Amino acid sequence: MSGDLPDLVIRAGRVVTPTGIIEAEIEIREGLISTVRKLNDRAEMPAGQRSSSTAGSSGSVSPPAGAVIDLATDEVLMPGLVDTHVHINEPGRTHWEGFATATAAAAAGGVTTLIDMPLNSIPPTTDVAALEAKRQAAAGNCAVDVGFWAGAVPANSADRRGLHEAGAFGFKCFLVDSGVHEFPPLDDEGLMTALRQVAEFGSLLVVHAEDPACLVPAGGGSYAEFLRSRPPAAEVAAVARLIDGARGTGARVHVLHLSSAAAVPLLAAAQADGVPITAETCPHYLALAAEEVRPGQTQFKCCPPIREAANRERLWAALAEGVIGCVVSDHSPCPPELKGVGTSDFAAAWGGISSVQLGLPVVWDQAAKRGHDLADVARWMADGPARLAGLAGPGGPGGPAGSSGLAGKGAIAEGYAADLVAFAPAEEFVVEADRLLTRHKLTPYLGRRLRGVVRRTWLGGVDVSTDRGAGKLLRAGQP
């Protein structure tokens, strides 16, 4: 195409925008959203309500001539999800997952940007050489855009500035044993050093927040014993430590995979006081419950653990109130033999949930039952994680870059990356292993009926299904 014609126009009766769900057409030029044009004022509604508008209704404005896609009347155009908590495990443990399989599954689930965790790869991403090894393994193998967290471990304090300058999106640390010997936890002194460095760099510390002093021996292999071994008090104590550290240093701190709602009042009070601390939770904590875990179902094991149904409802309330700002997968797969399914030994099984392809339907299925709409889901799974990683904000020609220096992610708005998803919210499906694109198919969602199907994903305006290697490797602070 030439002249003023857009590269692509997508029209839909329901488009999830930052200001609500509208009937609109989206013009895309050079990978960015250049125009969001409302088609019918009657279709507009605020977030929190549902739309019954359909594509092609009266009052629409004809788009410029060019490539035009009209979504089906049962489809909603959403921003591509941003998943800031994914364990891809390559290099070193590629037999656990890998960039090709993880990003293909992400795209199939409507995730267009993900940030890879610094473990369980070998080597872990704790120095610049390891970060470059990650990038070499990922190059040409990613269906979606991929960035990288760095690690903060006891021995790498001198390496952290280099990692920051090399484009790491922040630093991940544990306060308890990580489960892999090459990524040990920080003690109190190490945590304070990391917080002071993060404040100095203007970066972010993302923390597995359980206090080891509160953990108790499992005493048996059952799920009940495993749950008792990692009580809510462990998360509460760790969050309290992080609040004190953030308050004292001014460092930005983010609580990873919050499972215990008992920590929510502490977070709410700290946020009200202006302490720079945020939190996320995960689909499994919002959809599953300890009461449903049966003997031998070690596919449900994760750390911190899936807790009781009453706790789950309090997490939903914290999301609605904005105390928890993100929902991300914590996709952490492993070979099935490490799960020991059927052995009933939860203490010995690897802890991690495989879910990067399923997060959107899992969360939507549960959110809809509680009166939330897709604008809420987009805020939790696209905009919130993008803001966490510094990826929000328009970029490219005509707009300033986000704080990362990259084109904005996580919203359908002018100047943002044209990362988009056609989602059919009413369609149901049963999770079957042969539909999953991850390397290993074991997940607690197998056999479950979910509501919401991703029908199409675009990355920078390009259909991911036709260009599986289109993903870029992202560097924080660099275009």
Question: Could you state, in chain order, the average pLDDT of each consecutive group of 10 residues for the chain (479 residues)?
Answer: 77 97 96 93 39 32 65 98 98 97 97 98 98 97 97 98 98 97 98 98 98 90 94 98 98 98 98 98 98 94 98 98 98 94 85 97 98 98 97 57 71 97 98 97 97 97 83 88
Question: Distance (Å, rounded) from C-alpha 54 to C-alpha 36?
Answer: 17
**What phi and psi, each to the nearest 5 degrees, are found at residue 417?**
-60, 140
CA dihedral 219, 182, 188, 264 (to 10 degrees): -60
Residue 235 and residue 263 in contact, taking contact as beta carbons nearer than 8 Å: yes
Residue 300 and residue 345 in contact, taking contact as beta carbons nearer than 8 Å: no
Question: Distance (Å, rounded) from C-alpha 102 to C-alpha 94?
Answer: 10
pLDDT at 393: 77
Question: Distance (Å, rounded) from C-alpha 79 to C-alpha 110?
Answer: 9
Looking up tokens 């490490």 gives 338
The three-class DSSP label of residue 109 is: coil
pLDDT at 395: 53
How many other C-beta atoms lie within 10 A of the C-beta of residue 218?
18
Instruction: Please tell me the number of Cα atoms within 13 Å of 42 on its side-chain side.
Output: 8
Question: Distance (Å, rounded) from C-alpha 116 to C-alpha 132?
Answer: 13
Residue 147 and residue 475 in contact, taking contact as beta carbons nearer than 8 Å: yes
* Interstrand relation of 277-281 and 326-327 (parallel, antiparallel or unpaired): parallel
Residue 335 and residue 95 in contact, taking contact as beta carbons nearer than 8 Å: yes
Distance, C-alpha 4 to centroid of its chain: 36
pLDDT at 47: 41
**pTM (2 d.p.):** 0.93
CA dihedral 389, 311, 323, 197 (to 10 degrees): -50
Q: Where are the domains of the chain?
A: 8-78+412-466, 80-387
pLDDT at 61: 41
Backbone region of residue 191 per phi and psi (left: phi > 0; alpha: psi in -120 to 50; beta: other values): alpha
CATH class of 8-78+412-466: mainly beta
Q: Is the dihedral of CA 374, 375, 377, 382 positive or negative?
A: positive
Question: Distance (Å, rounded) from C-alpha 222 to C-alpha 347?
Answer: 8
Looking up tokens 């404040």 gives 199
Residue 47 and residue 390 in contact, taking contact as beta carbons nearer than 8 Å: no
Indicate the DSSP class of residue 255. E
* Interstrand relation of 420-430 and 449-459 (parallel, antiparallel or unpaired): antiparallel
Vertex 88, ends 302 and 385: CA angle to 5°?
Answer: 75
For residue 109, give every residue at least 6 positions away whose Cβ sits within 8 Å of its Cβ, in sequence order, or none. Answer: 81, 356, 357, 358, 359, 360, 361, 454
CA dihedral 228, 209, 272, 21 (to 10 degrees): -90
Domain covering 80-387, topology: TIM Barrel (3.20.20)
pLDDT at 179: 94
CA dist list (Å): 116 to 43, 87, 207, 212, 459: 38, 6, 14, 25, 18
- Please give the structure tokens belonging to residue 300: 């449900």
Question: Distance (Å, rounded) from C-alpha 168 to C-alpha 478?
Answer: 10
How many other C-beta atoms lie within 10 A of the C-beta of residue 2?
4
The three-class DSSP label of residue 366 is: helix
pLDDT at 479: 63
For residue 265, give every residue at least 6 positions away whose Cβ sits within 8 Å of its Cβ, in sequence order, or none. Answer: none
pLDDT at 65: 46
Q: Which long-range contacts (CB under 8 A, 24 or more apart) does 462-466 make?
A: 462/31, 464/107, 464/112, 464/143, 464/144, 465/107
Q: Is the dihedral of CA 12, 16, 22, 27 positive or negative?
A: negative
E strand or H helix at 338: helix 336-339
**What phi and psi, each to the nearest 5 degrees, are found at residue 467?**
-145, 75
Residue 325 and residue 277 in contact, taking contact as beta carbons nearer than 8 Å: no
